[in-house]
Structures are given as structure tokens and as C-alpha cells.
Amino acid sequence: MHDVAVVGGGPAGSRTAALLARDHDVVVVEEHRRSGTPMQCAGLVTDDVIKLSGVKPDILSTILGADVVFPDGTVVPVRSKGPIARAIDREDLDSKIAGSAMDAGAEFMYGTKYISHTVSDRVSMTTSSGTVESELIVGADGHSSAVARSIPGSRPAEYLRGIQADVSVRMEHQDRFRVYLGSALAPGFFTWEIPCGDFTRVGLCTSWSAGPPMDNLKALLRKVGAEDRVVGLHSGKIPLHQRGDTVADRTALVGDAACQVKPVSGGGLYLGLTAAGLLSDVLSDSIRDGDFTKKRLSAYANDCDKAFGSELRKGWRLRRMFVRMSDEDLNAAGRYASREDVRAALDGIDIDHPSGVVADVMRHPSTVLSAIPLMLRCIV
Ligand SMILES: Cc1cc2nc3c(=O)[nH]c(=O)nc-3n(C[C@H](O)[C@H](O)[C@H](O)COP(=O)(O)OP(=O)(O)OC[C@H]3O[C@@H](n4cnc5c(N)ncnc54)[C@H](O)[C@@H]3O)c2cc1C
């Protein structure tokens, strides 16, 4: 019997496995033939994410800023003196984290699909390759987590739809990306064009209610003159705002399975990898003490709340506000964000901890729009 069975060999699952396998018997069940494919990511991360991953992914570009384009065409440039993010090779990141887990001693069962599990004096998991037994199960199986469904009431409040094309176009400026806001291209979210050397990632997310986003992507590709330059296409879902528990007896969720995603930007890697570190500490203690109860595992949920609960709650409030904004509201926000004093507050970005900017922005008198710069800052 294994100490821990992790379902999902994405970044959150593999990092949890890498940290636990140093001292414990860990197995990872992953339905695909390898980690990192199919890729569902824009690959924009901070250096903190790279540190948290424990590996060195290939970096395709270093980002110093963004041009945010409002529905009326107003462009608000946001610039930083230092790198605010890196565009990375996401497949490479995933496969390197999985490699580090294997190096630490974790066993990977690739091509094996989790079907269900029962909890008694142990976890007994039914998979496409037979039964796997363990003391604990970790659901790191992404946005549509089947493990999460075993915890009554555990589900996202909302899903976003994401779609992205890799296009064989080299962006003129390799140190900044472009974002379009507005209902024509990305109802309920935003678009992105991210320089990656000889190619560009062109994508967008939309609110679920806006329907399948393929037509929006085609419109965006037309706008940027890249409709006939598509070399790769990816799509995915982003779960927002966890409802219900992330732990139960012998069970814990991490990463997208626990909706550990920033509601304003859709970025999940920073939170998922932070949570993987917190989870591995709590599970190690629980194995040491032979205590696998929900009460004991709640320490993980509490640690996550301390680490990023407030940031997530603020982000969710901003998201609720954002989805209610019309294009006219966005244009007004664009005019506000164009002001020199507000722009100054937007420069020098930390995309993993956006709430730090609130105090600066709130000093401005235009209180009605005072949260918009924060949103812009979160977006980039
Ligand atoms: C279009 C798009 C762009 C994004 N861009 C960014 C970005 O720029 N920066 C950022 O930080 N985040 C971004 N994200 C979010 C980010 O990709 C996720 O937050 C991240 O992948 C979550 O990692 P994870 O390990 O929790 O889940 P996943 O990466 O989804 O991994 C889950 C794993 O579980 C496996 N699995 C699922 N079900 C089963 C099963 N039944 N049995 C066995 N295995 C199973 C899957 O095959 C997968 O390998 C983006 C998401 C989308 C959709």
C-alpha cells in the first residue's frame, strides 16, 4: 500500500509528489501518456512561480509590461523597470516537475485513468489499470476534478472558457504583451498576445454564458492579421472560486481541482504550486502521526487561507464587478487608467500579489473606478 496516491500529473500534482516522495511512498495516476500534454496555458508566470516549481523551464521571453486596449481603442501602456513575468514553455515545465518527482522516488502510472475511490481504513482507488491502495488520496486532476466530486458540495462557482492559437508571427516587441478588453472579442474576460520569440500565443477567455469562444478567437486572429498563420490550437476551462471543502477524511484537493486560480487573471500556477508546498507539509505530518481525518487535514485548508485566501476573496469580488461592466464602463475605466498619476500606480507590477496596489489606487478621488486599475494590474 502506498502512503499517498496523487490523481493528476500536472504541475500541482507532480510538485506535491516531488515534495512528498523524498520521505514517503507516492504514486501518481495520470491519464495521459506524459505530463504536459495536452497543453492548456498561456505560459505567463513570475519568477516566484519558477522558484516554487523547483525546476528550470525553458524561457521564451521576458516581459516588462503590457499594452491594455480598451473597447474604444484607448491604449494604456503599463511598464515596469524589471521583469514582471516570463513566457515559458509550459509543456517543458510540466514534464520537468514530473521528472523531479520521479527523481525523488515517485512512481508514475501514465495512461491510467482514475475512475472512483472509496474511503475506509484506507483509500481504495479504481483505475483503468486496476486498483491502487493508499493511506491518502490527493485530487490534482484539474478543472473538472472527479476526485473533487467525492467531496459533497465541492465545486467551482464559475468556469471560464479559454482558447489559444500559436501563430508563426514574431511580435515586434518581445518584452511586452497586448490585452484587448470588451464584449466584441472577450465577453467577461480579456484577450492576450504574448511574444514567444518566433511565434506568438494569441488567445482569450470568456464567461461561460458567452458560449463556445471559437468565433471570438477567429475575430482576434483577423484583428492581429494572423488568421492564416496558426500552427497550434489549445483550449481549456478555468475554474473560479471554490465552493465547499477542499479536504475530507483521507482526501485533499490541490491546484485547479481546488479552484486555486486568481479570479481576475485566470492564472493558476502560483497558487497551485504554493498549495502543493503547504499540502505536502500537512500530509507528511499526518502520515507521521497516522492521523488521516478531515480534522487533521483541515490544517492544509487553513494554511491555504492564510497564504492566499484574502487575495482570492478580493479577486472574486473584483471579478463579480468586472462581469457587470459594459463596454462604456470599460472605456471610462480606460480614461481613468490613462491618467499619469494612476499609470504611476500601475507600473512596477507584482502579478502574484495584486492587492498591494489597492492602497495606492484608493488614494485617488475617483472612487467609483478605484478598483479598475487593480483589475488591470491583475490582468497583466
Ligand atoms: C487558456 C488558458 C490559459 C492559461 N494561462 C495561464 C497562465 O498564463 N499562467 C498561469 O499561471 N495559469 C494559466 N492557466 C491556468 C493553468 O493552466 C492551470 O491553473 C494549471 O494547469 C493547473 O494545474 P493543475 O496541476 O492543478 O491542473 P492541470 O494542469 O489541469 O493537471 C491536471 C492533470 O490531471 C490529469 N487528469 C485529469 N483527470 C484525470 C483522471 N480521471 N485520471 C487521471 N488523470 C487525470 C490531467 O490529464 C492533467 O494532467 C491557463 C489556463 C487556460 C485554460
Does 220 fall in a domain?
Answer: no
Report the alpha-carbon distance of residue 185 to residue 207 in Å, rounded.
12
**CATH number of the domain enclosing 104:** 3.50.50.60
96-121: average pLDDT: 98
Q: What is the pLDDT of residues 151-203, one digit of tens each?
A: 999 999 999 999 999 999 999 999 999 999 999 999 999 999 999 999 999 99
Does the pLDDT at position 216 exceed 60?
yes
The pLDDT score that the predictor gives to residue 378 is: 46
Q: Among the atoms of ligand 1, which is closest to the Cα of residue 145?
A: 38
Taking residues 10-36, report their average pLDDT. 97
In terms of residue numbers, what domain contains 300?
A: 1-37+90-154+244-323
User: DSSP character for 181?
Assistant: B
Q: How many angstroms separate the Cα of 369 from the Cα of each of 136, 189, 265, 290, 292? A: 47, 18, 19, 52, 47
Please report the pLDDT score of residue 353 as a whole number. 65
Domain count along the chain: 2
Percent of the chain having pLDDT more than 70? 92
Model confidence at 363: pLDDT above 60: no
| pLDDT level of residue 379 (50, 70, 90 thresholds) | very low
Global confidence as pTM:
0.93
Burial class of residue 344 in the structure, from the number of CB atoms within 10 Å of its CB (0-12 exposed, 13-18 middle, 19+ buried): exposed
Residue 181 lies in a domain: no
* Ligand 1 binding site (Cβ under 6 Å of any ligand atom): 7-13, 29-32, 40-45, 113-114, 140-142, 146, 162, 164, 203, 236, 238, 255-257, 261, 266-269, 272
Based on the fold, state whether residues 267 and 375 are members of the same structural domain: no
Q: State mean pLDDT over 30-35.
A: 96
Q: Is residue 162 part of a domain?
A: no
Distance 356 CA to ligand 1 centre (A): 27
Q: How far apart are CA 256 and CA 272, in angstroms?
A: 7
Residue 306 has pLDDT above 70, yes or no: yes
- Say whether pLDDT at 358 is over 50: no
Query: Which of 278, 308, 323 is the last residue in one of the domains?
Result: 323
Q: Are 261 and 359 within one domain? A: no
**Mean pLDDT lowest among 60-69, 94-103, 183-192, 355-364:** 355-364
Within this chain, do residues 294 and 375 fall inside the same structural domain, yes or no? Answer: no
**Mean pLDDT throughout 93-115?**
98
Q: Which amino acid is at 209?
A: S
Q: Which residue's CA is the closest to the ligand 1 atom numbered 27?
A: 142
Which residue's C-alpha comes closest to atom 19 of ligand 1? 268
Rounded to the nearest integer, the mean pLDDT of the chain is 92
